[in-house]
Structure 1
């Protein structure tokens, strides 16, 4: 939830979101969205809406589209548990505004990091002598201070700080990506950014 104050409440009060469920079923998703959008208690409605529950990856855009079709456009739509680059693009195209996901930290704990060329594993032998940041041009704390070789050493030594440092990088990667997506929406180049980003990831596989 955002920090936007609700009408008639102190400025520090959090916003209240209603979460739309319904799994893969269009009728349930649409009904839940309509009912939550129309719900009012003592003159107060939800400040925004979450889209949660089981969502099949291949149908993500379709399911999000069902929900956003039914929700008011003047309130934010938050997608729960989604964080991979291709999912973010699909969800934004379908009308989602914000996201949260444990994915960046979960994969970081297993030595995997996000880059413009897709996810890479710092535990591979080649990382031992790569005295360079995870990704050139990344402005995160980890890339500014540590090399792939040192991070490889930390994981090999089973140092807990390895997961912390790679999480910092992965979280920053996601924030930078959605910042670019926002800018691309504003200047009309969203499709170009999507094709360039996902095409580069696909080419590296």
Structure 2
């Protein structure tokens, strides 16, 4: 085990990269998919089940945890790792995105944001300094800078002003983070879909200096083509010797396209959220288990998948428990989805290491294009 945070690049294939992030709590194999444990839990999953899918790291939400049960309470109870029974690395977001998307009646100024809780309407204040304090109390291994993220589309002036505010907040976040051996602070690049603004943001972040760099402000309504357009240049604007994290993305083909363009870390609520609404991601695309075509089908969701949902249960059963609103439905489908997402990551890691990423990607798209197996 290491007592510090480090990143080593093991192989590249085109712009795709594979490597290892080392932390005192364990290694993170990259490219890495981070399941989202919003309020101290990956919904419908036990921590050991999440680990069994192949996850090396989880994401926790500063905004949700600061409101309930509060960061101070989590610290008194031994920190987030102990609180949620997850002994491996945790990354916490800064709270900025949720304040913008969930916080009612928010008021933004140079110093920070005042907002009302979506839970009980109580008033709260988040600044770069407070965000760093909350994430320190939670005890997360990777801490994100406090930033502002405007929804797209937005005009250039709004995006530029927001990005420059985020860069001033990044400098304050770095200052407030202080010296914490074994813990890492990541800066977040902003700038919307504007290449020059992204470049300006990257320069500002490089000048401050971070252990890793995130690409923020995507997957906020711009569509895949526009997102890939940014990813065609944005990762290369960031330091090559540090992890690059694309925040809040996405569907399987989004993830593959992002890794192809040089991304090392990704998180998304999609596998768990979709699992709870009856959607399963498979090698052959999305299966809606609620559809009547599955009610007499004794076959598994995906005959080549080794997750519990596929090994032990039929489509007919999964259809039945979803329709009956039984809890096991969300549990099994979430496990399957997380397993599949981690399988994509391990497949890409092996393909990059062996210099056959293009062939792997072609097979991935070809199989998905076939669509689901024929109904019985």
Common topology (TM > 0.5)? yes
RMSD: 2.2
For residues 23 and 206 of structure 2, what CA distance do their matches in structure 1 show? Answer: 18
1:114–1:120 contact (8 Å) kept in structure 2: yes
1:62-101 pair list within 5 angstroms: 62-101=229-268
Q: Give 1:190 deviation, angstroms.
A: 0.7
CA–CA distance in 1 between the matches of 2:216 and 2:312? Answer: 37
Report the structure, 1 or 2, having the larger helix content. 1
Equivalent residue in structure 1 for 2:283, among 110, 116, 132: 116
How far apart are residue 103 of structure 1 and its match? Answer: 1.3
CA contact 1:60–1:90 (8 Å) conserved in 2: no
| TM-score, with structure 1 as normaliser | 0.87
Work out whether residues 128 and 152 of structure 1, in 8 Å CA contact, stay in contact via their aligned partners in 2. Answer: yes
8 Å CA contact 2:218, 2:227 repeated in 1: no
Question: TM-score w.r.t. structure 2 length?
Answer: 0.49
**Aligned equivalents of 2:367, 2:202: Cα separation in 1:** 36
1:50 to 214, 223, 236: 214
Aligned pair partner of 2:194 in 17, 22, 25: 25
Whose relative contact order is higher, 1 or 2, with alpha carbons under 8 Å and at least 6 apart?
2
- Report the Cα distance in structure 2 between the residues aligned to 1:72 and 1:88, rounded to whole angstroms: 21
Q: Which moved more, 1:176-185 or 1:125-134?
A: 125-134
Alpha-carbon separation, structure 1, partners of 2:192 and 2:273: 24
Q: Are residues 1:16 and 2:185 paired?
A: yes
Work out the CA distance in 2 between the residues paired with 1:15 and 1:136. 41
1:62·1:94 contact (CA, 8 Å) conserved in 2? no
- What is the CA-CA distance between 1:200 and the residue it aligns to? 2.0
Deviation string for 1:13-63 (max 9, x for gaps)?
A: x32111111111111111111211221xxxxx3110111113431122221
Cα 1:36–1:10 change in 2 (3 A) is: closer
Could you tell me how far apart the structure 2 residues matched to 1:49 and 1:99 are? 12
Partners of 1:173 and 1:61 lie apart in 2 by: 22
1:37 equivalent in alignment to 2:201: no
2:294 aligned partner = 127
Q: Distance in 2 between matches of 1:62 and 1:33?
A: 17
Deviation at 1:10, TM superposition (A): 4.4
- Other-structure match for 2:334: 167
In structure 2, stretches of 5+ residues that fail to align are 6-20, 25-140, 142-178
Instruction: Give the alignment of 1:153-192 within 5 angstroms.
Output: 153-192=320-359
Match of 1:146 in 2: 313
Q: Residue 184 of structure 2: SS of its match in structure 1?
A: coil
Moved more, 107-116 or 48-57: 48-57
Deviations 1:48-100 (A, max 9, x none): 01111134311222212322121111100011111312211211121111100
Describe the shift of the 1:3–1:164 C-alpha distance in structure 2 as closer, same or farther (beyond 3 A): farther
Structure with greater proportional strand content: 2
CA distance in 2 between partners of 1:79 and 1:119 (Å)? 23
